[in-house]
């Protein structure tokens, strides 16, 4: 299959490029590098022996998209391109609506113009808001507490509307829980710009000496040890979920939302302990007040992915931490050291 990947140079995109190439697919990447570097694609080539065809451009640029879609002879699209910082979206909601919602609208228009009607979309467990049921099934009511999450909800609704009006479209809406870790080669991984917002990149930077200590945002939640519980999923398992979703879309004309998580929740302190084991160091932390907008616990009911895609996460917490540490140790400044 010729697969067109928006945001393919990013964290999840680069890992998905590797798995698709290794499964024998042709991969093209469309990225403006606003949160990634071309080096990630050079690393994909080092792992797979193939460099994805690169189209540098912005998904809001309809002409550039249409050209690239035609030129790549794509038959399906995986759409990762988007902004993803919750805090930034509260500060600058218009930038998020513009990039994520307008960008996806332009992508769908370009796909229709090129008669490419299969799309795998990166949604998020953030669309479940503060869940009232755990583990969370896909039919849990949708809500959100911030503009980033709102863009994911709006896009999901847009895809459902498009599918209702033109039923030949094929959509897989993948709701990721908390992606962590890196490719086992240590060549690609997460490379956040500035201070990481997410737990595991922060922990990894403490381990490598870039940060002094971790702030644990709250230890008075109604969880076993009082710290927040999440469903951490190895990024390679997540990438493989995209491969399975693409394979399913080849035979199904549908619009399905599917959780990609492990179904297991770990606390912040569980994650710190697991990373300490992986890196062989004690990681200093201090308990700080709760972070605004955080929820106590969030983990997936992952049955639908197994039923529809024949997929389930296989890499455990040890692999998540060991692979994440291998990447961080070998690339203490991320791709930036190059
Ligand atoms: P990332 O920032 O590493 O990757 C996104 C990529 O998209 C980057 O390469 C960036 O340069 C590119 N991009 C952004 N806006 C663009 C635009 N207008 N035109 C062209 N390229 C553009 O993020 P990621 O962690 O790989 O996330 C990928 C997707 O998954 C995002 O849509 C994100 O919202 C979603 N998601 C991520 C997480 C997570 O925790 N990482 C969780 C749930 C959902
Ligand atoms: C995990 C846990 C924190 C940092 C966010 C987005 C979500 C999705 C994934 C894209 C929580 C605690 C964190 C730190 C800490 N992204 N923590 N100290 O909040 O589950 O989800 O990223 O779609 O939309 O909201 O992930 O990694 O930020 O936090 O104690 O320095 O770690 O309080 O309990 P979260 P996270």
CB 336 within 8 A of CB 292: no
Q: What is the mean pLDDT of residues 111-125?
A: 98
Question: Using one digit for the tens of pLDDT, what is the confidence trace for 155-169?
Answer: 999 999 999 999 999
Ligand 2, atom 4: closest residue by C-alpha: 199
The pTM of the whole model exceeds 0.95: yes
178 CB under 6 A from ligand 2? yes
pLDDT of 173 strictly over 70 = yes
Question: Using one digit for the tens of pLDDT, what is the confidence trace for 212-231?
Answer: 999 999 999 999 999 999 99
CA-nearest of 108, 111, 58 to 83 is 58
38 CB under 6 A from ligand 1? no
What is the predicted pLDDT for the residue at 135?
98
pLDDT of 325 strictly over 90 = yes
Q: Residue 313 half-sphere exposure, CB side, CA atoms within 13 Å?
A: 28
Q: Determine the 3-state secondary structure of 137 from DSSP.
A: coil
197 CB under 6 A from ligand 2? yes
d(CA 211, CA 200): 13
Confidence at 337, pLDDT banded by 50, 70, 90: low
Nearest ligand to the CA atom of 238: 1
Confidence at 66, pLDDT banded by 50, 70, 90: very high
d(CA 75, CA 69): 9
Ligand 1, atom 34: closest residue by C-alpha: 84
Question: Using one digit for the tens of pLDDT, what is the confidence trace for 12-61?
Answer: 999 999 999 999 999 999 999 999 999 999 999 999 999 999 999 999 99
Q: Residue 293 half-sphere exposure, CB side, CA atoms within 13 Å?
A: 13
pLDDT of 338 strictly over 50 = no
145 CB under 6 A from ligand 2? no
What is the predicted pLDDT for the residue at 336?
85
81 CB under 6 A from ligand 1? yes
CA of 169 to the centre of ligand 1 (A): 23
Cα 319 to Cα 37, 54, 307, 316, 333, distances in angstroms:
25, 31, 25, 5, 22
Q: What is the mean pLDDT of residues 260-274?
A: 98
Domains of the chain: 2-180+233-261+299-312 (3.40.50.720)
Active site residues: 148
CB 2 within 8 A of CB 75: yes
Q: What is the mean pLDDT of residues 238-250?
A: 98
Q: Which atom, in ligand 2's list, is nearest to the CA of 148?
A: 24
Tokens 């795998």 correspond to 120
Q: Which atom, in ligand 2's list, is nearest to the CA of 200?
A: 27
% of residues, the chain, pLDDT over 90: 99
Ligand 1, atom 43: closest residue by C-alpha: 124
pLDDT of 189 strictly over 60 = yes
Give the contacts of 331 (CB within 8 A, at least 6 positions apart). Answer: 186, 189, 191, 337
Share the mean pLDDT of the chain: 97
């Amino acid at each position: 299959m010729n697969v067109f990947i928006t945001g393919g140079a990013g964290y999840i995109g680069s890992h998905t490029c590797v798995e698709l190439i290794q499964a024998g697919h042709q991969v093209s990447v469309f990225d403006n590098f606003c949160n990634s570097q071309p080096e990630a694609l050079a690393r994909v080539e080092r792992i797979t022996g193939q460099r994805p065809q690169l189209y540098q451009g912005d998904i809001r640029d309809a002409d550039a998209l249409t050209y690239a879609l035609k030129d790549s002879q794509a038959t399906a699209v995986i759409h990762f391109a988007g902004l993803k910082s919750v805090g930034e979206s509260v500060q600058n909601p218009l930038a998020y609506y513009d990039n994520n919602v307008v960008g996806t609208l332009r992508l769908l228009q370009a796909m229709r113009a090129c008669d490419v009607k299969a799309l795998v979309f990166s949604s998020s467990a953030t669309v479940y808001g503060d869940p009232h049921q755990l583990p969370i099934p896909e039919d849990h009511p949708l809500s959100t507490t911030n503009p980033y999450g709102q863009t994911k909800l709006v896009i999901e609704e847009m895809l459902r509307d498009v599918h209702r009006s033109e039923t030949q479209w094929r959509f897989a809406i993948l709701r990721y829980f908390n992606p962590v870790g890196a490719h086992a080669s240590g060549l690609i991984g997460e490379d956040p710009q500035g201070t990481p917002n997410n737990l595991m990149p922060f922990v990894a930077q403490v381990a490598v000496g870039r940060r002094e200590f971790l702030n644990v945002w709250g230890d008075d939640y109604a969880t076993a040890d009082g710290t927040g519980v999440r469903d951490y999923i190895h990024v390679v398992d997540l990438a493989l979920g995209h491969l399975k979703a693409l394979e399913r879309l080849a035979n199904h004309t549908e619009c399905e939302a599917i959780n990609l998580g492990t179904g297991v929740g770990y606390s912040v302190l569980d994650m710190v302990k697991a990373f300490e084991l992986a890196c062989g160091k004690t990681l200093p932390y201090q308990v700080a007040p709760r972070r605004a907008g955080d929820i106590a616990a969030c983990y997936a009911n992952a049955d639908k992915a197994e039923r529809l895609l024949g997929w389930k996460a296989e890499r455990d917490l040890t692999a998540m931490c060991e692979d994440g540490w291998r990447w961080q140790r070998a690339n203490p400044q991320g791709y930036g050291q190059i």
